[in-house]
Each structure stands twice: as structure tokens, then as C-alpha cells.
Amino acid sequence: MEPASLENLRVLYHSDDFIVINKHWDIRIDSKMWYEKQTVQSQLRHRFPELADPGTYYGFRFCHQLDFSTSGALCVALNKAAAGRAYRCFKERLVTKAYLALVRGSVQSSRMTLDFSIGRSTAEGRTHMMCIAGSDGCENPKPCQTELVVLEYGSYSGDPVTKVLLQPLTGRTHQLRVHCSAIGHPIVGDFTYSLRTDSTPYRMMLHAYLLRLPLEPEPVEVIAPDPFLPKLDPLWAPQHKVQPLEGALEQLLQHPKDPVEGEEQGRSPQHAGTVEGKTAPRETEEQIAQCQQWLSEWGMD
């Protein structure tokens, strides 16, 4: 996609309750910095001024997050009840997400489960980074899994890369970036987790391709078009296709993985519930904090 501007917000889905946009790769969702005028919030206010809710801090309620340098499907709730329904889907682990990425090098296994616990780094100079358990200064690591499926081998600017489909089975900060780096295949353009060596590409090659929320009465399922095509970025040169994207996605969705054992901890009794006859997984501290923020800012009536 071209760089973000106020005018080029791309809407993939729009109902009375939700908007799903195709977020650009170079824009933050929101910002409290006075000089950062261009955000997804400001794009939405520009395109849909009548939908902004003056009762919220920013005007729009995001159901989840994408990093500044990640593009793709991003869901926005348009009212309090819709926000609450979406939150419950995320809390009960009913949401399906799949990402596309170009990673450095040639990934040898055509399919693998990346299983590395992730915590916050307290190492000097890396305070805004995550890290895998066992690395220096890794604080409070928690279980974390990602499914990786190889789609194509090729090159980017002449260097070997692999196009992959990623499904996060947990929801840790920077999970996909950390996991890819941990197996020696950092995402192309990921300046942070390449230890500041990968600075040439114009963007980080990570894209939220599929988002599925099983909401009632109308589920939300959206695909954000694949940006990693030679016609869109001629520096990417595919050479050998392992399997088509559509087939890989279908397999991934037909064989869902169970939640990671022990992944959710610290759930308070008032959040108890069941999902399809099973005990609902425990919420993480991150999820509880996010829920409290949501409910304080735009809690359900």
C-alpha cells in the first residue's frame, strides 16, 4: 500500500456495529503526542465524523491492536454493546487471526509450531522489547505458541527470504516478531528484533491477513488483501511455491489448535464462565488491564 494519509483510509467491512479497516504499515492507531497528527483515529474522524463518540478519549473503540509497522485487518467497534461483545470473543479465545510475513533466510520445515515463552526484556537498551525465556534480562516469561506455514521461497533485494503464514495461538506483545527472530528468521524490515541491522526495506513485512470474530447474530470475517506480491513490491521475487495461500489458510482453519496449557493465569472469580461446555481460559494480567481500560472508557450500558 502507499503511505498513509488522512484521505486514504481503506474500509474492508462496515456495519452498524463494526468497521474493519486495512491499516497502513506506517501509522499508529492513536497517540497522545501533540505532534503526531496522523493516526488511524484521525483517519476515522476524517472519514466518519458522525460516528465518533465524544464520550471516549479518542472517539473510536479498537477491539485489538496492531503495531505501528504492521498492516492489515483492524476491527473498530462503533458502540458500547458491540465493544463488549467483541471483548468477550477475545477473552474467550474465539477469535481467529492469521498473518502474512516475509522472513529472512530459507525456513527448512514446511510447517512448525513455534513454542517459546515470552517476557519483557530488562536488558540495558532493550526496555521496550520482548524476549524469550532464558535470554538475559527476560522478566516474567509466559507460555506462547505460533503456527508457521511456509508458502513460498524467493528473494528480497537479492537476499533469500521465505513467505509464511502465521497463526498466533496466544496473544503476547510482539509475539510473531519475537518467535520468528527466535528461530533465526526475523521478519524482513523488523529493525527492532533484527537488533537494528535490518534498516533497508521501506516497511516491516508483517500483515494481518485474516480476522474472524464469531459474533452473534452476524459473524465478522474479513481478509485484508495480500501486499506481498511482485506487482506491488518488485523487490520481492518469488522463486518456488510450496503451497497456495488459500490452501494453507483452509488447512489452518480446519484444524484449530487448543489453547496453550497454562497460558492464562491470574483470573479473578468474577470473570468465570464457560465456552461450549468447557471452562473458559483464565485471563492474563494484560487482558484484565485492557478490559478495565475498555470498561472505564466505554463500558457497556
Are the CB atoms for 18 and 217 separated by under 8 Å? no
Mark residue 147 as left, alpha or beta (left: phi above 0; alpha: psi -120 to 50; beta: remaining): beta
Strand-pairing partners, residue 93, are none
Are the CB atoms for 75 and 86 separated by under 8 Å? yes
What DSSP string runs through 204-252? --EEEEEEEE--SSS-EEEEPPP---TTT-TTEEEEEESS-HHHHHHHH
3-state secondary structure of 202: coil
Given 16, 53, 67, 258, the catalytic residue: 67
67 carries an active-site annotation:
yes
Q: Any idea which residue has 483464565 for its cell?
A: 282
Mark residue 173 as left, alpha or beta (left: phi above 0; alpha: psi -120 to 50; beta: remaining): beta
Which residues participate in catalysis according to the annotation?
A: 67
